Structure 1
Amino acid sequence: MITFLGAILLLIVGYIVYGKFVERVFLIDDKASTPAYTKRDNLDFVPMSWWKGNLIQLLNIAGLGPIYGAVAGALYGPVAFIWIVVGCIFAGAVHDYFSGMMSLRHNGAQFPSLVGRYLGKYAKAFINGVSLVLMILVAAAFTAGPAQLISQITSLSFIMSLSLIFAYFVIATILPVNRIIGRIYPLFGAILLIMAAAVAIALLFSEQPIPNVTVENLHPGELPVWPLLMVTISCGAISGFHSTQSPIIARTMKKESDGRKIFYGAMITEGVIALVWAAAGMTFFNGTTGLQGALDAGGPSGVVNAISTSLLGTIGGILAILTVVILPITTGDTALRSSRMILADVLAKFINMESKIKILFVSIPVAIPTFFLATIDYTFLWRYVGWTNQVVATFMLWTAAIFLLKHQKLHWICGVPAIFMTGVVCTYIFYAPEGLNLNYQLSMIIGFSLTSLVIVWYIAQIMKYKKKKQDSEASHAA
């Protein structure tokens, strides 16, 4: 219990202290006009209050991610607490802050455009494809579950339930951001917070003690912590999906000082939610072996329902249904919205997005494959979401590091977590079953070798920009 409460306290202190430090490194300017005003189109660029932005950002980036991912990560034991706290403060919240604030500084630019500006056109072309694939996979993975539940509690078939959800997606994607998202999503964000708070309080007063921190790996299947835990718990620690969502809110911000509350703050809140559900998973089923059995029997939805109903009674059951239905649908909605925005940027030279018909036209190419993928097994989709998600996060951190380096600021705050995540994704793809499924030791050697090459590239970038600074100072002195 002490570890759990201490971890929550560390996240709060991280927001107050390190979040402020990151803000100072970025150097905000509240006198500058934001894209919400300079590019206002009453569709994507619409001014909204910071508290709405925070709750919408939380809902967009969270959904079921910090619940399902944290429950699965709880199989490793209390070491998951360490990853959530450290990852959230020094990697995830930094990632989210820079993805949002860099978008703001570049007129509401999408993530791939930022990658192209700072990492080059080839990186942009690669990340355009990866980002669209990630959006489609996330929307599909987070839509199948709600459709199945709706079909179970109503007389509708699975396909009919799925069709209704996608009809909503199409409507929400082409409507102005302040119509549905701006009015209803803050309420859904509040539901996510209320449920997490209720579960946390119930855990604290339950008979089963919440385990204290240990670096021991308690996974029943003896799967290694590195790099699997860092991919299993992404939402709640660091998630590349967030960098695709941040521009949605960046286009609605009234001033730059709102960024820490919206982006860094939403990620810290998500970290707290992940801590709650990781603790619930470890505690409620009497250890990781019991949790593994519950996951095998009912999947993550069954685990969430069992915990909610047992700890919170009827109200918990209602909250569980709302969570499993509403939250993934809202994530799927904004995933398709951001993919529409990314595709619109790619096609901007060919199509002028001034009418809703053209916006709908751009939405169809991503909606159709998402619909069909939603009929595939959820666990199969989720395996590919994990690695793709963390690749996007790694690219965003490197983009932010080069942004800071170019502007002669403290680039290490992004560079160090970027190196860490490079090691994660390079090792994971060689070891994981959905990757090359190689021997663990061999995967470690290859992963760290590739990471070393990236570090060499990073040092070369540092030397390049250092020389540019020296040349500039010399020319000014002359």
Structure 2
Amino acid sequence: MITFFGALILLVLGYVCYSKFVEKVFVINDNTPTPAYTKRDNMDYVPMSWWKGNLIQLLNIAGLGPIYGAVAGALYGPVAFIWIVIGCIFAGGVHDYFSGMMSLRHNGAQFPALVGKYLGKYVRTFINALSLVLMILVAAAFTAGPAQLISQITPLSFIVALIVIFAYFVLATILPVNRIIGKIYPLFGAILLIMAISVGVALVVTGKPIPNLTVENLHPGDLPIWPLLMVTISCGAISGFHCTQSPIIARTMKKESDGRKIFYGAMITEGIIALIWAAAGMAFFNGTVGLQEALAAGGPSGVVNEISTSLLGTVGGILAILGVIILPITTGDTALRSSRMILTDVLAKFFNMEGKIKVILVTIPVAIPAFFLATIDYTFLWRYVGWTNQVVATVMLWTAAMYLLKNKRLHWICGLPAMFMTAVVCTYIFYAPEGLNLDYQLSLVIGLVLTTLVGFWYIAQIRKHPTSKIHVRKNPAA
């Protein structure tokens, strides 16, 4: 239990200390009007309070990601705690903060537009396609589970439940951000947090043995920790999906100093949620063997339901049902909203995209493939969500590193985690079954070679720019 509580304290300290350092490197200015005011359209650009932005951002980036991913990651043992802490503080929090604040500084620009500005038009073309694929996969993967549960507890069939969910998706995607998302999503974000805290308190009160990290249990399973753990636990550590969601909230921010609380704060909160559910997965089933059997029998939703109802009784059962149904749906609809915004940016080069009818027309091409993908096996979808997700995260970190380089600031805070994630995705794509499924040792060698080449490119970029330094300026509005 010491490892768990130590990890929890480190996450809090990460927000208190490191997020302030990251903010100083970025350099905020509350005297600069935000896009919520300069581009207000009462559709996507609408001012909202920071606490609403924080809870909506948490719900958008999380859903069931830090629950399902953490439970699956618990199969690797207490080393999962270490990855959540290091990944969340030095990679995920930095990734989310820069994706949100760079969007804010560029008039609410979408992630691909930022990539194009700092990494070039060819990378932007690639990331436009990859981002849309990721959004569609996320919407599909986070819809199949709720539809299955609805069909089990109501008279509705799976397909009818799917149609109802997607009808809601389209409605939430085309309505102004403050109509549905701004009003009820803070409540759902609070439910996600309350659910995790309740489970964490119950674990402690009931005396469930949360294992500590030791040499003996460093690697309890058969699968290699590197790089599989870093892809299995993405939400809660670092996730590329987040940078597609950040512009939604960046377009609603009232001032720049809210960014640390909204973006970095939501990431740390998600890390705490992932930490609790990883601990629950390890402790409740008496180790990784019991957890693996439970996952094989009931899948992630079955594990979450069993933990919640056993630890929290009737209330836990209600929270579990709300979680398994509502939380992924709210992530799916913002995924489609993001894909609609990205596709609108692409088409705006050729057509006038103003007007509600055009908003609906742009939503349809991303909703239809998501609907059909939702009818296939969930685990198949989730494997592809994993690696595309982390590729997007890696590209966002490199985009932020180039932003800092060009602005003569301390680029290493983004460059080092970008190098780490480059090694993760390069190795994973060659080793994983949904990748090229090569031998593990060969995949390690190829991953190392590709990462080294990217490292040479990074050094070349550093040499093109003057020596970077930390710019620290006091916020005049603070």
| TM-score of the aligned structures, taking structure 1 as reference length | 0.97
**Distance in 1 of aligned mates of 2:18 and 2:349:** 41
**Distance in 2 of aligned mates of 1:281 and 1:218:** 16
Name the amino acid aligned to 1:62: A
Alignment check: 8 A CA contact 1:218 1:288 kept: no
**Distance in 1 of aligned mates of 2:149 and 2:210:** 30
Structure 2 counterpart of 1:324: 324
Alignment of 1:30-179 (within 5 A): 30-179=30-179
* % same residue: 82
Alignment check: 8 A CA contact 1:217 1:225 kept: no
Question: Counterpart of 2:14 in 1: which secondary structure?
Answer: helix
Structure 1 counterpart of 2:244: 244
Structure 2 counterpart of 1:11: 11
**Distance in 1 of aligned mates of 2:176 and 2:215:** 47
Q: CA deviation at 1:352?
A: 2.3
Name the amino acid aligned to 1:81: F
- Equivalent pairs counted in the alignment come to 469
Q: Please, which runs of 5 or more residues in structure 1 have no aligned partner?
A: 470-478
**Distance in 2 of aligned mates of 1:213 and 1:142:** 32
Give the 4+ runs in structure 1 shifted more than 4 A.
Answer: 215-221
Structure 1 counterpart of 2:432: 432
Q: CA deviation at 1:205?
A: 1.4
**Distance in 1 of aligned mates of 2:192 and 2:256:** 26
Structure 2 counterpart of 1:473: none
Q: Deviations over 1:432-454 (max 9, x none)?
A: 11111111110000001000000
Structure 2 counterpart of 1:191: 191
**Distance in 2 of aligned mates of 1:456 and 1:46:** 43
Q: Deviations over 1:170-191 (max 9, x none)?
A: 1100000000000000000000
Structure 2 counterpart of 1:366: 366
Change in CA separation of 1:215 and 1:265 when aligned onto 2, cut-off 3 Å: farther
**Distance in 2 of aligned mates of 1:28 and 1:271:** 25
Question: Counterpart of 2:465 in 1: which secondary structure?
Answer: helix
Q: CA deviation at 1:36?
A: 0.3
Q: CA deviation at 1:218?
A: 5.9
Q: Deviations over 1:110-131 (max 9, x none)?
A: 0000000000000000000000
Q: Deviations over 1:129-184 (max 9, x none)?
A: 00000000000000000001111111011000000000000110000000000000
Name the amino acid aligned to 2:170: V
Alignment check: 8 A CA contact 1:64 1:328 kept: yes
**Distance in 2 of aligned mates of 1:366 and 1:23:** 35
**Distance in 2 of aligned mates of 1:145 and 1:319:** 16
Structure 1 counterpart of 2:22: 22
**Distance in 2 of aligned mates of 1:407 and 1:221:** 45
Alignment check: 8 A CA contact 1:219 1:288 kept: no
1:417 and 2:423 matched: no
Alignment check: 8 A CA contact 1:78 1:215 kept: no
Alignment check: 8 A CA contact 1:135 1:336 kept: yes
Name the amino acid aligned to 2:197: A
**Distance in 2 of aligned mates of 1:170 and 1:2:** 46
Q: CA deviation at 1:354?
A: 2.1
**RMSD value, Cα:** 1.2
**Distance in 1 of aligned mates of 2:408 and 2:215:** 37
Q: CA deviation at 1:316?
A: 0.2
**Distance in 1 of aligned mates of 2:215 and 2:22:** 29
Name the amino acid aligned to 2:433: P
Question: Counterpart of 1:466 in 2: which secondary structure?
Answer: coil
Alignment check: 8 A CA contact 2:304 2:320 kept: yes
Q: CA deviation at 1:431?
A: 0.5
Name the amino acid aligned to 1:459: I
Change in CA separation of 1:16 and 1:215 when aligned onto 2, cut-off 3 Å: farther
Q: CA deviation at 1:355?
A: 1.4
Q: CA deviation at 1:215?
A: 5.8
Alignment of 1:285-434 (within 5 A): 285-434=285-434
**Distance in 2 of aligned mates of 1:35 and 1:405:** 24
| TM-score of the aligned structures, taking structure 2 as reference length | 0.97
1:466 and 2:455 matched: no
**Distance in 2 of aligned mates of 1:356 and 1:222:** 53
Structure 2 counterpart of 1:284: 284
